[in-house]
Amino acid sequence: MSKLTELGAWLEGRLPALLAENHVPGASVAVYAGGEIIDHAAGVLNKATDVEADVDSLFQIGSITKVWTTTLAMQLVDEGKLDLDQPVRRYLPEFVLADEDAAARITVRQLMCHTSGFEGDIFTDTGRGADCVEKYVATLHDVPQLFPPGEMFSYNNAAFCVLGRVVEVLRDKDYNQCLSDHLFVPLGLTHAAQSPYEAIRFRAALGHLTPKPGADPEPAGIWALTPSNAPAGSMLAMRPRDLVTFAGMHLRDGEGPDGTRVLSAESARAMRDRLVELPDLGLMGDAWGLGWSLFDWPGGAVVGHDGGTIGQSAFLRVAPEHGVAVALLTNGGEPITVYAEVVGHILRELTGIELALPPVPDPAAPRIDASRYVGEYSSSVADIVVSQDDEGRVWVERVPKGIFAELSGPEKTELVAMNGDTLILAEPMQGMYVPHAFVGDDGAGHALYLHTGRADRRVSA
């Protein structure tokens, strides 16, 4: 019996129970190894209808879309139409931010590796037309700059919308058409959809949200985020088999499943180059390349990306030295434990690589002097207050804003010491003990940013 056959049998026996243990309504998994693919699905796509998940069901891949958008841009590099180290304004003269100097200097490369420095969680809805990405970029004129371009990493959805617009301009077609013409068709993808209008042709998963801790997840009221954020990951849905087909192209350094050259080998390898280091942020990875997150795990290097939309979570991990890719797509509950067991088991069996588990708090963590961290931090997503009480306990209170205020209310959670200037939640938030890294200096001995993947800037003295 081959390793892949053994893994298929393991998934069939283990996945249904694992989903039930973690209140995940449904999930689908695909594994690519040596040119072969196996897949398996379990659970339901929608608890309101009890439609069962199968291997041809579509789940949203969320921000994994960013790797697709980067690939579209790198195809343009191959054609000599795009230079990553040129300012974005060479291709988008209309690109304007609140900081004129920064807007003029930000390069295409900085968009791809989250170092452009402007605030990135902007989810303005500019309609459903083919021009929605163009209209979205025009709304960024008052978005503030958090730090000078290239100075540090801060995850940026808006930057990938700008990158998607660069692709549109250079291709003279809308983003969805670029995806179809330059990736779906050459890869031979049959179950991929750029919007609800295409997803409805298939068995499509609905996200589920947990109304309060300990409660069962319930069907979400809407299927997707705004079309204007499509290049960042608001709309794209597919079955895991099609996702690992895309990953397989990258493993073959740009060669499609039928031998078609989809991307140059040079560009495929360049996307995996280590370009920027990250604070200790758990699932975010250790460093970032062009589109890819990079993980330094025991046994070997892994690249990947995660995705989260409204009640759906997606995970893609790729081991380039072993020619292996694993995709796990889920639609609610607590998927992190499912990810750790499924992806961890598959990588261990096929590559010997040990998945680095997300960090957890130390029950014996000492009390610390948090005066460097205490204060108010803010972004367009949330206002955050870090405080320390008379007993020496450190607290973080997060008040969501904008679209996120509609999905969850204020949360106050204790932080405990983890590693240097990184603290960690004492209780999980959405199934994760999120690390909180305090970086920079405001000139008075206080941290300038609270970094949880996004660098939220201090707004208090």
Please, is 234 exposed, middle or buried when counting C-beta atoms within 10 Å of its C-beta (0-12, 13-18, 19+)?
buried
Q: Are 136 and 228 in contact (CB under 8 A)?
A: yes
DSSP class per residue in 304-360: EEEEE-SS-EEEEEEETTTTEEEEEEE-SS-HHHHHHHHHHHHHHHHH-PPPPPPP-
Q: What type of residue sits at position 246? A: F
DSSP character at residue 365: P
Is residue 3 within a helix (H) or strand (E), and if so which, with residue range?
Answer: helix 3-21
Number of other residues whose CB lies within 10 A of the CB of residue 410: 11
Catalytic residue status for 63: yes
Provide the angle, in degrees to the nearest 10, between the axes of the packed helices 65-78 and 157-171.
Answer: 40
- Of residues 28, 57, 63, 116, which has the active-site annotation? 63
Q: CA 63 to CA 344: how far, in whole Å?
A: 21
* Bridge pairing between strands 36-46 and 208-209: unpaired
Q: What type of residue sits at position 75? A: Q
- Give helix then strand counts, H and E, for the chain: 12, 22
Residues 6+ apart with CB under 8 A from 413: 395, 396, 398, 425, 426, 427, 429
Q: CA 87 to CA 89: how far, in whole Å?
A: 5
Q: Which of 262, 239, 197, 227 is nearest to 55 (CA)?
A: 239
The CA-atom distances, in angstroms, between 345 and each of 22, 352, 380 are 17, 10, 38
Q: Which residues are catalytic?
A: 63
